[in-house]
């Protein structure tokens, strides 16, 4: 994961102008001859002007798209970091982003399951048994070190996939955590509620990219803005809307669909309404 994080850090903070990948997922990661991870397939990526920090348009894959990306149509560094968090959880747990055969009805998305076990104090039970079996039982210290590293990655994956973009770490922090030069992130036991729109004055997305909008369906094929119909599986449970500022607060637990013919979200179907 370190090589993938370093690559994403480069296009986010070192390369000029900034590049947003917009489709980080397991199938877009390649291994070189030394089995080092390489982030590939920049087909949906976009270059962002130096005086801006977001791009308009929807593109990506179900399970890896941040909620604010699906609702606002803005790709940002934070939306890439959300997808990276999902990827980290997939690698450590051996599970797919969308769990089609969940033992618990609430575990529809991988973050649902990992956050539930984190809340129950059973975070390490998320680890793929194949990963643990790769290390000798005779070396107890090695096994303890590996478990500590995997727990660090699970916490990082949860932090990166936090429902609220302002609470996610940035790429410099992610790289430091993976390199063990910074402590693991502090992750709440309960999955945070998604607040939309962001509180006034705290929107870090900035202006839209001045370039043309990029639109694609969630299977990766191109589509025009006027013809686009996209569906992204997300987890929302309606709770009481906040009285101030008109912000709606959602608990991310149950899977529903957001349907947006014609581009932006025109209909939101929420469980519990």
Q: Identify the structural domains of the chain with CATH numbers, from first to last.
A: 2-268 (1.10.510.10)
From 23, 112, 205, 208, the catalytic residue: 23
Question: Of 151-160, 241-250, 264-273, where does mean pLDDT reach its minimum?
Answer: 264-273
* pLDDT at residue 137, rounded to an integer: 61
* Most confident range, picked from 24-28, 80-84, 104-108: 80-84
Residue 203 annotated among the catalytic residues of the structure:
no
Does 55 have pLDDT greater than 90? no
Across 261-271, average pLDDT: 31
Across 109-125, average pLDDT: 93
Query: From the CB of residue 102, how many other CB atoms can be counted at a distance below 10 Å?
Result: 16
Instruction: Report the alpha-carbon distance of residue 4 to residue 86 in Å, rounded.
Output: 13
Contact indicator for 265, 258 with CB cutoff of 8 Å: yes
Instruction: Report the alpha-carbon distance of residue 167 to residue 161 in Å, rounded.
Output: 9
Cis omega (within 30 of 0) on the bond before 197? yes
* pLDDT at residue 12, rounded to an integer: 93
Contact indicator for 165, 76 with CB cutoff of 8 Å: yes
Q: Mind listing the pLDDT tens digit for each residue in 189-227?
A: 999 999 888 776 555 544 443 333 443 333 333 333 222
Nearest Cα neighbor of 248 from 188, 169, 183, 195 is 195
Across 59-74, average pLDDT: 88
More confident site: 123 or 248: 123
Q: Mind listing the pLDDT tens digit for each residue in 126-166?
A: 999 888 777 656 577 777 788 889 999 999 999 999 999 99
Q: Residue 169 — very low, low, confident or very high, per pLDDT cuts 50/70/90? A: very high
- Rg over alpha carbons for the chain, rounded to the nearest Å, is 18
More confident site: 140 or 70: 70
Question: Of 64-73, 110-119, 236-245, where does mean pLDDT reach its minimum?
Answer: 236-245
Residue whose structure tokens are 């575990």? 107
Q: 3-state SS of the chain: helix, strand, coil percent to 5?
A: 35, 15, 50
């Amino acid at each position: 994961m370190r090589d993938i994080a370093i690559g994403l850090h480069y296009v986010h903070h070192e390369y000029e102008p900034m590049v947003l990948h917009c489709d980080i997922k397991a199938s877009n990661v390649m291994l070189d001859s030394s089995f080092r991870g390489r982030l590939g397939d920049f087909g949906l990526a976009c270059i962002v002007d130096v005086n801006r920090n977001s791009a308009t348009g929807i593109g990506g894959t179900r399970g890896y798209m941040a909620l604010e990306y699906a609702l606002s149509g803005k790709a940002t560094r934070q939306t890439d970091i959300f997808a990276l968090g999902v990827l980290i959880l997939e690698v450590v747990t051996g599970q797919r982003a969308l769990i089609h055969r969940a033992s618990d009805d609430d575990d529809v998305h991988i973050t649902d399951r990992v956050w539930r076990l984190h809340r129950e104090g059973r975070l390490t039970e998320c680890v793929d048994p194949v990963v643990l079996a790769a290390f000798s039982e005779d070396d107890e210290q090695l096994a303890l070190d590996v478990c500590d590293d995997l727990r660090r990655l699970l916490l990082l994956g949860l932090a990166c996939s936090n429902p609220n973009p302002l609470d996610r770490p940035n790429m410099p922090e992610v790289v430091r955590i993976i390199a063990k030069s910074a402590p693991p992130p502090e992750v709440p036991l309960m999955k945070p509620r998604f607040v939309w729109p962001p509180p006034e004055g705290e929107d870090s997305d900035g202006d839209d990219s001045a370039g043309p909008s990029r639109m694609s369906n969630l299977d990766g094929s191109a589509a025009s803005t006027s013809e686009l119909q996209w569906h992204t599986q997300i987890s929302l449970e309606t709770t009481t809307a906040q009285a101030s500022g008109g912000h709606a607060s959602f608990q991310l637990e149950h899977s529903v669909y957001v349907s947006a013919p014609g581009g932006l979200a025109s209909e939101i179907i929420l469980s519990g309404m």
